[in-house]
Structure 1
Amino acid sequence: MVELSGGEIAGIAIAGCWLLYIIVSGLMLRFGGKGFAKDCVLSQQLRESILIGHRGSKDEGYPENTILAFKRAIDVGVHVIELDVWLTKDRKIVVFHDGTFKRMCGGIDGHVNDLPFAELPPIVPSEGQSKEADGLRIPLFTEVLDLIPDTMGLIVEVKQDSEELNSMVYQLLQDHNRVSNGATCWFSLKKKINNKLQKYKDLPTICSVEELLITYVLYFLCILPFVKVDFQIFGMAADNVDAARIKDELKILPMWLCHVLNFFIGGRPSKLFMQPKLVDHFLRRGMCCWLLGVNEDVDIDVFPRLHATGALTDKPEWLRNELVKPEQKRKVSTAPAPNFV
């Protein structure tokens, strides 16, 4: 009979406990999760495939986040429209993506929240984009709310760390019946802002970048099945991930570490991030999982394999036409509107 030392017995016990933990967490990942759903539960309707227009119709002939871009998305028949909001100096909520005017307004210096609404510069269309008047100005949030049908979903990205902006956006959504009808969610890519938005319990949120990365860490450590999350929609980026983008999103990291992370998670789409089992687990929690940045053929191939419930795109007409082709396994939902609660 082989005699084992105390250290060997302890090692075997630890290994056994770890193996048991892996088995239990794997079973939880595969079959569990319903007990970890948040109060703001998503409807079955959002589990179907939906078409989401990024900044309206960002790359199909009209400047992003303009009235024309939103009209185009509505005409195409998207189920959800995504937009971005800022607060101007005179407390007007405007729909605009960048904090500065440089990219969209012909290289002009300045920041959105440093100017009153009446003094915001005009948008300069890119080559090939429409030059109609409604595409040359930064719209008010109220204008867009009046434009989008009540039956169409809405995603609001809050770009500014401002409790006042959060409160004003929420109030406008209430005034337009967009909280009670369950067809609206909001979020920020920054966890600090997302934490504040998550205090409004009747509006679902999408995960921030930090929450996204934490989720993957928990998933690969087999801890996720035992952890509650504060968001209701899991958004996975389909577009290219490289060191520069990692640095831009996680400024606290040194550049060398961004290159190391890029080695493991880089590419289009990132193979490390495309985890159907993770998606299935969140769906069992009553959540939604969206593939963000579906703008190329390779992204369409990933969409059905990932089991994602929705696709956010800069080119909604192109994506709709691609997804309804017979060879595609997932087709665009014909549901009139998503209901987030």
Structure 2
Amino acid sequence: MCQQIERHGKAQLKQNSKRWEFQRWLLCHSVFIIRNILSNSYKVLQIQRWNISRSISEARIASSGRRGATVLFSDGTTSVARVSSNVFRKTGNPVCGDRVRIKLNGKTWYIEEVFPREGCLTRTSPLGKKQILAANINLVAVVASITSPPLKRGFLDRALASAEWNRIQAVLVLNKTDLREEKGAADTEELQRVYCQRAGYKVILTSTVTCQGINEFRELITGKTVALAGISAAGKTSLVQAVNPDLDLKVGAVNLKTSKGRHTTVSARLVPLWKDTFLMDTPGLRAFSVDHIPTDELKDCFPEFRNHTNCRFRNCLHETEPGCAVREAVENGEIDRARHLSYLKLLREENQ
């Protein structure tokens, strides 16, 4: 009887031992499986995060079209992107130079956000609304040919006034100086006296034929985003090509019958030149209206007026008011008469 109990106990102990070994094996195997599952889940999560980071990026608008744009990435590559409905409702189409957040959905990039703009070059559109030509710029280069097509002082004054109102540094580029001996060519010395010595603007004389002033212009724009503004065939695109010969841009010509330029740039485009340096080649503008500038602020857009603020009346608009210090400076030759007449013309246009 005792032997039977002993044998039964040993058998029970052996059975319990096998059961314990199986449970231990099952536990270890379960831990192994769970660890693999967690590891794979972590890898999947990392891949998903990586994909998300790849699909969301920041870029700049290189050119803008109808409900779409070409975006420029930081590595210099470009891609086409569509404007999301939310962005279009809030800001309309993005403009050249805008900094944007874009998201990849399938194979299509979508512009999801337009970041706040700084340094915008504006004009009044033919419909009477303020139009942003370029955004996030550090410098406006107003380009004018001294001939072919003829230089238009009114355009210069309007473009410079817009830059002043938007608090953007401006420079005047007098292009095609190789043609200065031609009949009807503008007097560069007179223009330098008016715009540099009296108004305080930097004036650069350039020629893409003789390369005059190209190095000076290249040094000035380095590290900046520069918007070029000028009438058609003033030489803006040729100037961009001259500062970076590796570019391949279409250059236009002048219509010999009308003396007007043909458009080679149909919309503003952002051209990367080298590290941290961009040029915005804007389309040739035959008109540069500044009607969006408030009447009482227009006088502040002519920097040579600022040294003559001791008018009899605080709200003097420098028209026919008695005791006007600006008109007195014009009579004394301290302010160019043509510049003052240009200001009065803009003032009358706004009051119409």
Settle same-fold status: TM greater than 0.5.
no
More strand as a share of residues: 2
- Higher relative contact order, chain-length normalized (CA < 8 Å, sep 6+): 1
Q: Which has the larger radius of gyration?
A: 2
State the TM-score, normalized to the length of structure 1. Answer: 0.26
